[in-house]
Amino acid sequence: MVPARRRVTGALVMGVGEHPRMVDQSDREQAGSENGSRSGKLSGAGVSEFLGRLFGQLSLTSWFPAAVLVGNGAVLLQMHADQSAALGPAVEALTDKPLGILIVVVFALVIATVVTQAFEFETIQLLEGYGWLRGPGRLLMVVRIRRHAAKLDKLWRRHQRVRQTAFMGVRQRLLDLGYPAEQLEVLDNDVFDAAQPGDVDPVVIEDARSIDWEDFLAADVRYELEELRHRLSAYPDPSRLLPTQLGNQMRSAEDEMPLGGGEDLEGFVIRHQDRLPAPMREEQHTYRSRLEMYCVMVLVFVVLAIGSVIALHGIVPAWVLGVVATSYLFAAWISYQAAVASARGMSTALREVGRFIEREQAEQEP
């Protein structure tokens, strides 16, 4: 490109009588200046583009767990090096390090981010209860599933008792308000799980089931019913129970999705992603990102609990070591509860996705 420019410029200037050597030298200087400027811009743009692509591959939800891991790990290593559990001197020693240490920490942060992000999906699967079929994990998962089954049965029985008591308390009021006795008999059979007599008019059954008798309950009774139903909604069908609270919460939403034959939840969301409204996609993505972050935080705090035992063993008294490790494990439990809360929000978003797809399919049917 530069030689062609040189020839054209030289021909034009020579036409007005200037010396060709001077023109060529001047042009070379100009071209060199332009090339230097362009190469500087391109190199700068190349670095910016590279960094943008690098950090674009690392989700924001991975940075926070990685920062916790690297920051706490650096403090624990400094304590180990100082042979002291004093937090202040350890932090002060870290801040006195040369700039090269800071660069190492930055690269360690990036590496930790990559590692934690790589295990996001596996961590979620593990906390949902998948992948525990080997060794003693299988026995633990069987015990956990049976525990959730007993808890679900207990919740259901309590819900039925409260519902039946509530209906009996409001039945007379419904009669006083003029509701037909035959309709209340239908509701009575439904509430107590009794079969409807064969001679009952189907119209009466339909009219009876259209009565929202819970509207006549006292506020505290209705609150108890709704709270029990909310807790029951966190469980799937009894035959599809999983070992963990997180897994059951996610599977309860999966059971309400209009999945095709052999289709899983991830495939359904991916297949219908483009058909969803932008706010619905954003809400689902937000809860998914939070779920990933909190699940990785569980793994990070468990690693830090183990690391604290290794780094501080023999340096601090046993009770201090126990407090530090227990604190990390408590933080892991808090993170798990936050993951369950995020899964609950994600389940609500997924149910809305399922209803939207069902409505859209119904509108397309002739």
Q: Does the pLDDT value for residue 4 go beyond 90?
A: no
Domain that holds residue 170: 136-240
Helix, strand or coil, per DSSP, at residue 355: helix
**Residue 297 burial (CB count, 10 A):** 24
Q: How far apart are CA 3 and CA 18, in angstroms?
A: 19
Q: Are residues 335 and 231 in the same domain?
A: no
Of all residues in the chain, what percent are helix, strand and coil, respectively (each to 5)?
80, 0, 20
Among residues 211, 240, 269, the one where a domain terminates is 240
Q: Are residues 161 and 230 in the same domain?
A: yes
Q: Write the DSSP symbol of residue 195.
A: P
Q: Are residues 169 and 232 in the same domain?
A: yes
Among residues 213, 240, 267, the one where a domain terminates is 240
Average pLDDT value for the chain: 80
Per the structure, the count of domains in the chain is 2
Q: Are residues 116 and 251 in the same domain?
A: yes
**Span 11-16, mean pLDDT?**
36
Q: How far apart are CA 298 and CA 338, in angstroms?
A: 10
Lowest mean pLDDT among 27-31, 178-182, 222-226: 27-31
Q: Are residues 123 and 246 in the same domain?
A: yes
Q: Are residues 175 and 291 in the same domain?
A: no
Among residues 207, 240, 273, the one where a domain terminates is 240
Q: Is there a domain that residue 10 lies in?
A: no
Q: Angle CA(124)–CA(126)–CA(130) in degrees, nearest 5?
A: 115
Q: Are residues 119 and 178 in the same domain?
A: no
Q: Are residues 262 and 126 in the same domain?
A: yes
Q: Are residues 107 and 253 in the same domain?
A: yes
Q: Is there a domain that residue 215 lies in?
A: yes
Q: How far apart are CA 291 and CA 160, in angstroms?
A: 33
**How confident is residue 117, by pLDDT bands cut at 50, 70 and 90?**
confident
pTM of the model: 0.71
Instruction: Return the structure tokens found at 201.
Output: 């008019």
Q: Are residues 113 and 261 in the same domain?
A: yes
pLDDT in tens, 298-308: 999 999 999 99
Q: Are residues 262 and 359 in the same domain?
A: yes
**How confident is residue 55, by pLDDT bands cut at 50, 70 and 90?**
low
pLDDT in tens, 227-265: 999 999 999 999 999 999 999 999 998 888 877 766 777
Encoded amino acid at 28, one letter:
R
The H or E element spanning position 216 is none
Cβ atoms of 214 and 222 within 8 Å: the answer is yes
